[in-house]
Structures are given as C-alpha cells and as structure tokens.
C-alpha cells in the first residue's frame, strides 16, 4: 500500500523500568542455560500499571509532540495482544473518555504482534480517502503481560515478553517523517504454529489454561518432523517475508541498499540475524537488536519504540530510511518504510 501523502506528526512511548536477565535467572524465572544461547538482556516490567493507562501516557505524548489537540483526531485505533481490563470491555474507549472525547471513530485492532502495522494501513487509508484530510489519526498499542495466565520469561522460543505502550500520530500535513509504504500478507498454512494442539473450544482462558507459545510451537514442530505437513508453511513464511519486503521497498521507491536501519521483533540474536538481517543481506549493525534485547518483545510496540529510540539517539537523520518488519500469529508478515525528512522537532529543543 503506497502512502505518499501520509506523515508522522508525533510519536509517544511508555517503557517501564527493566528487570535484568541475571535477576530473572537468580529468581528462578529464566533458564540459566539460555542466557548465552539467546543473548537477551532483560525485560521491561510495568508492575500493576494497566495497559490502557500506559496507552494513555503514550497517546498524550504523541499529541503533544505533534502539536495537535485531541479535537484534531478523527480516528483512534488501539492495538493489543493481551488482556487490557475486564472481560467484555474495550480499551479504546478509555482513551476516548480521558483524552479525545466522543466524536470520532474508535476501534480495537486484534492482529497480535503486527497490530501496529494493521493500524498503519487502516489509518493511512482513512486519511488518504480525501474525506477528512485536515485531521489526524491516532494509533496506539499497549500490553502488560504481568498476569497469572502467562509467564513473560518463558513465553516463547527465543524471546521474553516486555511491557510497553507506543503511539503514532498520522496526518496529511507535512512533518518530519513520511510513511512511504506499508504492506501486510498472511501465511494461513502456518496458523497452527501459534495454536499447537489446543482445542478451539472452550477457549483456554475460560478454563484457566495458560498461554504458552513455546509448547504450541513444539507441537507444531513435532508434526513437521512426523509428516512434513508444516514444512511448506515454514518455507512459506520465509518466502512471504521476502516478498512483502520487496513489495514495500518497491512501493516506497527505494532499494534494500537505501535502508539505513531495520526495526524487527525484539527476539534473540540468532532469530533476528537468521530470519531477518541475513535474509535481507544486511549486517546486524543495521538492526535495532542491541536496544531491543534489553526490553523484551513488546507486543505490537517493538518497531515504534525502536523508531523513537533511533530518533532520540541521532541514529536516524534526514534522508535516512527505516524498514520496520514484523511477524505475528496467523501467520501474518508485515513491513513498512519510513523516511526521515527533518529532525524530529521535539528532540531539537
């Protein structure tokens, strides 16, 4: 999806203090033998701060940095991966009540780790249709994984879960950064990778069953080894990743050599290197792994938190391109290209 007239006006993040991986090992929460294998350094832990409150903080920061008032926003998209509050309640209305008011469209985006990419597509399409070009779209993502039915330190193979929120203020008004393209695709043949052998009914949380992606992935791999049915799906994920990146770069009008940095999932070094950087023919030094390894996998916020960090540290300058890439349950593969046109104004002050 080409998005030539969509700009990023503001960014906001909420990243709580991190717990070092050594502390998790000492507490018996993280396997000592995996420290050297995966080279993860810690996870951001929010304690009892609700995810919607983190989202509200990030949203306020994005609006303030972008110089917009809440009344300028005509679309709110809220991406999440884990429970946000009481069953039957939707978190986007918490932000509507406490920040934006009631006269706008607000929706929850349930696309797992790729939720922010889906929100970028929906937000850009909404602003680009010409119906409301003077206003803005606010995209937020937030998760707090510190709950009884999930173990952040053993959540999945090669990653730990971190808590965070992020926000992006999109507009058709020129700004410091331009969203050039965003693309998403699915590999439905691999949907069992994140389901394993769990029954569809009754849903796990309703009977107190914990979420364990590592166990589900192990179920999937055993079936691949047993009858090979999943091999094509695994190959399909790799091929679809490269195809989505190629399409995104083509729509953005750049080549892979024009990419300054790559923001992938906050996974282990071997996963980031093998599935992302080496597959793209790029050195690890152009990834955001060094920063991401200290935070854990932040649900749908990995790439936006990385973008904010790169801007804050001066690692992205005018003329640079950031490639954001993610993989989520489904399996979905998503990517986007952001071009920096000017220094972020809030970091110039």
Give the model confidence (pLDDT) of 84-127 as tens digits. 999 999 999 999 999 999 889 999 999 999 999 999 999 999 99
pLDDT of residue 234: 79
Asked whether the predicted pLDDT for residue 15 surpasses 80, the reply is yes
Average per-residue pLDDT for the chain: 93
3-class secondary structure per residue, the chain = CEEEEEEEEEEEEECCCEEEHHHHHHCCCCCCHHHHHHCCCEEECCCCCCHHHHHHHHHHHHHHHHCCCHHHEEEEEEECCCCCCCCCCCCHHHHHHHHHCCCCEEEEECCHHHHHHHHHHHHHHHHHCCCCCCCEEEEEEEECCCCCCECHHHCECCECECCEEEEEEEECCCCCEEEEEEEEEECHHHHHHHCCCCCCCCCHHHHCCCECHHHHHHHHHHHHHHHCCCHHHHHHHHHHHHHHHHHHHHHHCCCHHHCCEEECCCCCHHHHHHHHHHHHCCCHHHECHHHHCCCCECHHHHHHHHHHHHHHCCCCCCCCEEEEEEEECCCEEEEEEEEECCCCHHHHC
pLDDT of residue 230: 63
Q: What structural domains does the chain harbor? A: 2-175 (3.40.47.10), 181-341 (3.40.47.10)
Using alpha carbons, list the distances in angstroms from residue 209 to 47, 82, 203, 291, 329: 22, 14, 8, 33, 18
| pTM attached to this predicted model | 0.95
Give the model confidence (pLDDT) of 118-150 as tens digits. 999 999 999 987 654 558 999 999 999 999 999
CB atoms within 10 A of CB 197: 12
């Amino acid at each position: 999806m080409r998005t030539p007239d969509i700009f990023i006006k503001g960014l906001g993040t909420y990243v709580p203090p991190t717990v070092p991986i050594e502390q998790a090992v000492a507490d018996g929460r993280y396997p000592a033998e995996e420290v050297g294998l995966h080279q993860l350094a810690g996870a951001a832990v929010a304690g009892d701060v609700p995810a919607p409150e983190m989202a509200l903080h990030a949203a306020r920061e994005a609006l303030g940095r972008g110089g917009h008032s809440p009344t300028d926003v005509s679309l709110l998209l809220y991406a999440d991966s884990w429970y946000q509050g009481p069953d039957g309640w939707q978190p986007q209305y918490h932000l509507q009540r406490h920040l934006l008011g009631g006269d706008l469209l607000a929706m929850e985006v349930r696309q797992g780790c790729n939720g922010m990419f889906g929100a970028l597509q929906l937000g850009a399409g909404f602003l680009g249709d010409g119906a409301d070009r003077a206003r803005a779209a606010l995209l937020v993502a937030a998760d707090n994984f510190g709950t009884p039915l999930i173990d952040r330190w053993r959540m999945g193979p090669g990653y730990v879960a971190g808590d965070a929120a992020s926000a992006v203020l999109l507009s058709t008004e020129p700004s410091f950064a331009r969203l050039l393209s965003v693309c998403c695709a699915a590999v439905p043949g691999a949907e069992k990778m994140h389901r394993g052998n769990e029954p569809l009914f009754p849903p796990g949380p309703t009977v107190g069953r914990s979420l364990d992606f590592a166990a589900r992935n192990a179920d999937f791999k055993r079936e691949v080894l047993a009858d090979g049915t999943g091999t094509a799906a695994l190959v399909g994920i790799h091929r679809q990743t490269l195809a989505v990146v190629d399409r995104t770069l083509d729509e953005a009008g750049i080549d892979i050599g024009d990419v300054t940095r790559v923001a992938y999932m906050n996974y282990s070094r071997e996963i980031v290197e093998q599935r992302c950087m080496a597959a793209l023919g790029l050195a690890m030094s152009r990834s955001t792994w060094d920063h991401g390894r200290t935070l854990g996998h932040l649900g749908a916020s990995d790439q936006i938190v990385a973008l904010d960090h790169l801007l804050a540290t001066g690692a992205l300058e005018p003329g640079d391109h950031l490639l954001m890439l993610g993989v989520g349950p489904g399996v979905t593969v998503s990517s986007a290209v952001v071009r920096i046109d000017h220094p972020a104004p809030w970091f110039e002050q």
